[in-house]
Structure 1
């Protein structure tokens, strides 16, 4: 049955978008909450962060813009709307809590853009799309947490905003392998190219000089 499903998707969706000429790297919601064993959102995704950090270093070496996203809420979740009402673990992202901060090892740099958001997509209700457009970006490269949540939402919105979208498998994580793999499969079929860490690093390194000043 699985083979038949794979064959069916290959017939309908077997296409690669490829890479663009001017990429930007986005690290989605690498928050302490996902790395704290005492937190309800703990997901054991250290490998995903390590991969994203390696890719980030190459991006900086090549002058590729790097964007970090964070989820942040006012006390009581006043600015979280229905999402905050529905998903109770979002209380971990109320401003001032340790779990709301960036994970250990991810320290924002002065030349990185930080996008604060209240909903799953990095694009919804933020200036990310217009910022990337103004910078001349044509290819959004996504890493982050979680694959089935904010990565997927950001992937769909990235494509919808007209960006070639790439998702790095090794640098995304989820608390369970089933939704992780299912969403990577679906994103690769319809919205983005899902690639390995090695593939995205090779692409970044292939760019001549610095991609951006």
Structure 2
């Protein structure tokens, strides 16, 4: 992102913060008693180059993946739930009389993420699931909409979701919005969220922090997970 764009965004954030705080926005939802890590679409079609869904590679390689590795290490050591979310479709012919793509293919090229090509929707090998972690296949932007996510989180006593992944303006944001609507405390992990469009991450994280969840650093989130682990031991 260019310095000029960042300067413009920071000016907008400063002005918006004044308005929000005057009107009672930007409150804290806070960390709860038991977190789960919900990693949204950090699969090869998004994390690796050469795909319509490919996100900012510099941020992906230098911030998101290393941050995810830190989080995964903490969650695994604490034996806390990890859900890897990915997206793919079984019927990708846009002219088919029936398709699991719904209407979304009329807006974005979801037809390229074919369930038959596992390499596309497989979670990036640098943060690949291990035994005991769950991979959830979604069809829409939100990880909650039409999926089993809320049910399995509740069944496992989870009250807080640490959300990472892509994209900030769509699947991550929708997951956070639906998460708080379903009664979970959403925490957006700042360094572990990306997008394709310059400025989209900064703007969406600012707006999410004002309305739908707390934005926290990866280090703060790791400290929280370690504290939970110590409490449970």
Question: Which interval holds the TM-score relative to the shorter structure?
Answer: over 0.9
Asked if the contact 2:87/2:139 (under 8 Å) is kept, the reply is yes
Partner of 1:57: 73
Please give the alpha-carbon distance, in whole angstroms, between the structure 2 residues aligned to 1:40 and 1:125. 25
Asked if the contact 1:64/1:211 (under 8 Å) is kept, the reply is no
Partner of 1:30: 42
Asked if the contact 1:23/1:141 (under 8 Å) is kept, the reply is yes
Asked if the contact 2:168/2:204 (under 8 Å) is kept, the reply is yes
TM-score (norm 1): 0.92
Matched, 1:14 2:26: yes
Picking from 75, 89, 96, the partner of 2:91 is 75
Picking from 102, 105, 116, the partner of 1:96 is 116
* SS across alignment from 2:220: helix
Please give the alpha-carbon distance, in whole angstroms, between the structure 2 residues aligned to 1:22 and 1:35. 28
Please give the alpha-carbon distance, in whole angstroms, between the structure 1 residues aligned to 2:196 and 2:38. 20
Please give the alpha-carbon distance, in whole angstroms, between the structure 2 residues aligned to 1:128 and 1:176. 28
Picking from 103, 112, 115, the partner of 2:133 is 112
Asked if the contact 2:84/2:123 (under 8 Å) is kept, the reply is no
Question: How far did residue 31 of structure 1 move?
Answer: 1.2
Asked if the contact 1:64/1:210 (under 8 Å) is kept, the reply is no
Q: Deviations over 1:168-194 (max 9, x none)?
A: 010111112311111111110011000
Question: How far did residue 198 of structure 1 move?
Answer: 0.8
Asked if the contact 1:22/1:139 (under 8 Å) is kept, the reply is yes
- Bigger Cα displacement from structure 2, 183-192 vs 200-209: 200-209
Unaligned runs of 5+ in 2: 1-10, 94-98
- Pair member with larger Rg: 2
Q: Give the aligned length.
A: 211
Please give the alpha-carbon distance, in whole angstroms, between the structure 2 residues aligned to 1:208 and 1:52. 18
- Regions of 4+ moved over 6 Å: none
Output the aligned Cα RMSD. Answer: 1.7
1:154/1:111 CA distance change after superposition, 3 Å: same
Question: How far did residue 61 of structure 1 move?
Answer: 0.5
TM-score (norm 2): 0.85
Question: How far did residue 126 of structure 1 move?
Answer: 0.5
Unaligned runs of 5+ in 1: none
